Amino acid sequence: MIYKSLLPIVITLIIMVTITTYLINYVNYETNEALLYENRYLVSINVFKQLNETLPSIIQNEACTLISNPINYTCETLGINTTDIIANVLGIISNRTGSIVHYEIMSYGVYGSGNETIYRATIIAMTQDDEIEGMVSASYPINLCLYSQAIKDLMNNLRANLTVYANNITEAIQIVNRDVSNRVELLGDKYVKITIYYEGVFSMVRRTSNQTTYVGQIHYTIYATPNNENYCNKTTVYSGDFYVIVIINKYVNETLYFSINGLVNNHAAQ
């Protein structure tokens, strides 16, 4: 009856096979779940985290572009371009993973707050069976929105032509100088440091017995930088012209031409 001793071995083996099969199913399921969660984390939260780390340097670059051209490159442009860069990065990831994950930028905003510019975007990462929402944000220590507005205002102020009534040419020159200073001072010195160089040549166009008229074009060049620490050492440079009509209420005999030049800044003590 030798087989009687074999039977317990076979029974033991059957029990072991059953336990192992159960264990495999259980462990396999758990492993796949764990992998799913790990990958979901890597393509969503980890990507948001990495974007948050990269965003300050993107914003810094955008800020430098804005500072060198604040009239055409406004706060809104900065927001649009930054969002485009983020969308591009997310698109590459989505594409390279064979669309295992799909990203959508739900909303974004850029606004100035005190002495800062803040960029914020809400992104949704969609994996096969889940959606994860994340927020990326970065700030730049200069209020770029107000800076670009200040430069726009300044350019508008400087665009206006001017008519000066004066008793003599020296007085006319003083009036023009004061006018340029006023246009700059309107801006205050809170967000932007400005220096303006200007010059113009005036020539006599009309002379009657009690009035002499000169016309001239003031050509100005603006050098502006943000008032706080400027991280990219960029300067805004714009130039332009405005016309000035000078009317002297007497007959000026000797002066056919005169010139004006000067320098104005809104930060007296450097």
Partner 1 sequence: MVLVDSLVFPDLIVVIILTIVALILIIYLTSLLVKLSIINYRASISAFLFTKCLDGGISGINYLNHVTITEDKPLSGNYLIICPRITGSGYDINVTVYIAYVR
Query: Nearer to partner 1 by C-beta: 59 or 248?
Result: 59
In order of 51, 140, 149, 251, the CA distances from 65 in angstroms are 20, 13, 15, 52
- Contacts with partner 1 in 89-108 (CB under 8 A)? 89, 92-93, 95-98, 100-101
How far CA 269 is from CA of 46, 137, 172, 196, 261, in Å, comes to 48, 36, 27, 15, 21
Is 269 a binder of partner 1 (CB under 8 A)? no
From candidates 61, 181, 228, 230, binder to partner 1 by CB under 8 A? 61
x/- binding map, residues 37-56, to partner 1, per CB under 8 A? -xx-xxx--xx--xx-xx--
Q: Does 23 bind partner 1 (CB under 8 A)?
A: yes
Query: What's the min distance (Å) between Cβ of 96 and partner 1?
Result: 4
Long-range contacts of 180-186 (CB under 8 A, 24+ apart): 180/218, 180/220, 180/262, 180/264, 181/264, 183/154, 183/157, 183/158, 184/154, 184/157, 184/264, 184/265, 184/266, 185/266, 186/153, 186/157
Q: Shortest distance, CB of residue 175 to partner 1, whole angstroms?
A: 47
Residues in touch with partner 1 (CB under 8 A): 1-3, 6-7, 9-10, 13-14, 16-17, 20-21, 23-24, 27-28, 30-31, 34-35, 38-39, 41-43, 46-47, 50-51, 53-54, 57-58, 60-61, 85, 88-89, 92-93, 95-98, 100-101
